[in-house]
Amino acid sequence: MKQNHYPVTTDDIKRNFFRNLANVQGKFPALASTFDYYMALSYTVRDMLMARWVGTATEYVEKKSRTVAYLSAEFLMGPHLASNLLNLGMAELVTQAMAELGLKLDDLLREEPEPGLGNGGLGRLAACFLDSMATMNIPSVGYGIRYEFGIFEQVIFDGWQVEKTDKWLFRGNPWEIVRPEWAVEIKLGGHTERYVAENGEARVNWIPGWSVKGVPYDTPILGYRNNTANTLRLWQAVAPESFNFGRFNQGDYYGAVEEKVSSENLTKILYPNDGPLQGKQLRLEQQYFFVSCSLQDMLRIMKTQRIRLEQFHEKFAVQLNDTHPAIAIAELMRLLVDEHDMPWDTAWNVTRRTFAYTNHTLLPEALECWPVELMESLLPRLMEIIYEINSRFLEQVRAHCLGDTAKVIRMSMIDENGARMVRMAHLACAGSHAINGVAALHTELLKRDVLKDFYSLWPDKFSNKTNGVTPRRWMALCNPRLSKVISEAIGDTWVRNLGKLQDLQRFSDDAVFLNRWEDAKRLNKHDFALNLYKRTGVSVDPESIFDVQAKRIHEYKRQHLNILYVIALYRKLKTDPHFDIHPRTFIFAGKAAPGYHLAKLIIKLINEVGRVVNRDPVTKDRLKVVFLPNFNVTNGQQIYAATEVSEQISTAGKEASGTGNMKFAMNGALTIGTLDGANIEIREEVGEENFFLFGMTAEEVRLTYERGYAPNDAYQQDAILKDAIDLIRNGFFSHGDTGLFRDLTDNLIYSDPYLVLADFNAYRECQDSIDTVYRDRTRWNRMSVLNTARSGKFSSDRTIAEYCREIWKVESVPIDVPEVDPFRLV
């Protein structure tokens, strides 16, 4: 492969920078803001990668390359500018060019709004996968939704989470290109009509109640130091006709734009509240909208490349990222059978061989189900197709289970128990040729519990693909100090081959190397402490242990277990003047779903405990509690680099995988965790002596539930636990208000669905041991180095290689790009 190496100088960069400032931003330096400079630089960098982007597309079209289509409701990409500079290998040159203009690159990077197009791990995983596929030269396109307003901006007011609108597009997005010529029509509502075609075959016509247009916006996804630039294609909904002159001329000024407003609402916001029926309908509309747009786009590509429809599954390997896009199975059947007159059996063969399904959850409530009544009114033709798929599928089930009616009922795509619901996970299983979990334990629990009936029917469909994260963003970009220490010791090939990190093991007893390692971590902590103070007003000691739990706020992730330990530690410091600990800073970050009362109450409790602990003269120099608001990719980059203790304390058997645990370990943090999700594999890789383990196993959790768990007994019998909870119940952290946290404490004492109280004592003892180990700096630094050195398995490059080899059957396509100098093109 020939890489494009046209010579670029700082003068080239500066000349094009000013050209974009004038021609795109319409500004000259005297009027330009820092944001204008950011935009000008972004367009300059985009110019540098355009030849790669066009060249990649050209190569794929000419070779008719088999392509991965990754369907995901979330893509939490993070800021693009710094990532593209890293992948182009031009960060130092651009830094120098900006410095010669009197500008600091870091100041410009801070101006980039983060696209909040995801809620957490699911969306970030999708982003890591796109990065890996581009770096590994895998033909691919990510398909999703261009939400005008992404995941909310979290603000903490009086200790409570307050949601503000995320206006990430307010000032423009220099990284995307709109493709209105590839817009497609999406049908919604209405009814169906049967008719007989000219060839005498029965056909169905869907007469929609209304329709919307899907317009694609493309963003280049650059590979690391290669010529590949794949595409993220996000769909925005627009009205077929945005303005009604007739209604306007009649004086109905709102009615003139009503269709535009209602259509564009479809892609306004990520994950509308689906409590009310209107929210459920909007969310279902969103899911159908983006998969129908994407499948129609794939059919357009097939036509352009003159590939027969019967070869759809040979051209595209379509991955369903959880159940959100599962409606794609019924939609592809509709497109093939209704729109292209393909016989049902042929269409089903194509469909089943096209899709693969990734399950991301063990929580039954997270497996999407839609009311049949809603589906019939919103997607009448899709519902008919699901009925037909289900009827044929259940015939297969009956033949397999030989009279086991209960199993047939369990496996049906239609849940008849109470209000009739469509089980999307069942549709995904039946309509896919492969089903995978995302960690070894998760996959085994899918086989044993959640999808056991499907596993008994199709054991060969199931496999495990443990998640991974990209080392480009989550090490090279977010932790340049530690990356420099690593590269000076073993070279920089680890950035694209993370397994090379194992070479660090030979330095794990090298005193000079360990000192350099510790210095890099300490400087990261100083930077993060400054950021914490700017964001929260809380001053923390960079020499304290940085103990971090940064993830979505949810009961099963057990942030309340963590804060209960903090309260117990605080009480011990207050009551025992001789109790000695190394100063500890507990840092929390994460968002709660807007309608999740207990999760928001946990955030309030964390902040109130921090208010008391941080001001107490007895403890303020030894114990701090900080909640960092608005956890996102940008904040995560600083958090992962500075953390020393990584809290991965979910109830065993509840977390599918986790990817934050991988990012922390890669950056040298030591994990305190349960045997849950990918924690198990992290512990196996880094060594049990380099992992702080506590708590019940998934099997012990299951048996505890079965035997009948009485959390009140744990509360009454553990004096340290009881004292901690009683401080909350008595209003100590709520200005004497004994009712503020009652819902939370009552939930723990009388229900405790995630076994917080059952695991508390083991967690407390494990936390106490961390203090002892941390005081031995050589031992701690050695453990930190080995966590990084042995984290090679958790690169998303490894995960993608397994998908390509075992599920997608896709091979790399290296890209040759002509020698084109974008700075001299007029």
Task: Return d(Cα 345, Cα 347) in angstroms, integer.
Answer: 5
Structure tokens at 135: 């770096």
Per the residue annotation, which of 80, 516, 604, 663 is the catalytic one? 663
Tokens 């100090």, residue located? 481
Task: Return d(Cα 783, Cα 670) in angstroms, integer.
Answer: 7
Task: Return d(Cα 718, Cα 761) in angstroms, integer.
Answer: 8
The H-or-E segment that residue 317 falls in is strand 316-321
Please compute Rg for the chain using Cα positions.
Answer: 27
Least Cα distance to 711 among 750, 753, 747 occurs for 750
Tokens 């045997």, residue located? 675
Per the residue annotation, which of 557, 572, 790, 793 is the catalytic one? 557
Q: Taking a C-beta distance cutoff of 8 angstroms, is the pair 144, 270 a contact?
A: no
809: region left, alpha or beta (phi > 0 left; psi from -120 to 50 alpha)? left
Least Cα distance to 101 among 174, 21, 172 occurs for 21
Per the residue annotation, which of 233, 315, 360, 798 is the catalytic one? 360
Per the residue annotation, which of 634, 659, 671, 674 is the catalytic one? 659
Task: Return d(Cα 2, Cα 13) in angstroms, integer.
Answer: 23
CA distances from 280 to 23, 264, 273, 276, 599 (A): 44, 17, 8, 7, 21
Q: Which residues contact 561 (CB under 8 A, 6 or more apart)?
A: 649, 756, 759, 760, 763
Task: Return d(Cα 10, Cα 13) in angstroms, integer.
Answer: 5
Tokens 């958790």, residue located? 794
* Active-site annotation holds for 557: yes
- Gap between the terminal Cα atoms of the chain: 28
Tokens 């890209």, residue located? 815
Task: Return d(Cα 520, Cα 238) in angstroms, integer.
Answer: 49
Q: Taking a C-beta distance cutoff of 8 angstroms, is the pair 629, 531 a contact?
A: no
Structure tokens at 760: 């508390």
CA distances from 237 to 154, 244, 295, 320, 555 (A): 26, 18, 16, 21, 35
Q: Taking a C-beta distance cutoff of 8 angstroms, is the pair 824, 524 a contact?
A: no
**DSSP readout, 608-640?**
HHHHHHHH-TTTTTTEEEEEESS--HHHHHHHH
Task: Return d(Cα 817, Cα 59) in angstroms, integer.
Answer: 9
Q: How many helices (H) and strands (E) does the chain have?
A: 33, 23
Buried-state track 589-598, b at ≥16 Cβ within 10 A, e below 16? bbbbbeebee
Helix (H, G, I), strand (E, B) or coil at 213: strand
Q: What number of other Cβ atoms are within 10 A of residue 130's Cβ?
A: 29
Q: What number of other Cβ atoms are within 10 A of residue 194's Cβ?
A: 8
Structure tokens at 503: 């070479």
Q: What number of other Cβ atoms are within 10 A of residue 579's Cβ?
A: 11
Long-range contact pairs involving 238-246 (C-beta distance under 8 Å, separation at least 24): 238/183, 238/212, 238/213, 238/214, 238/263, 238/264, 239/212, 239/213, 239/263, 239/264, 240/185, 240/211, 240/212, 240/213
Phi, psi of 545 (to 5 degrees): -75, 125
Task: Return d(Cα 294, Cα 235) in angstroms, integer.
Answer: 8
* Active-site annotation holds for 659: yes
CA geometry: angle at 395 spanning 390 and 397, to 5°?
90
* Residues assigned a catalytic role: 360, 551-552, 557, 659, 663
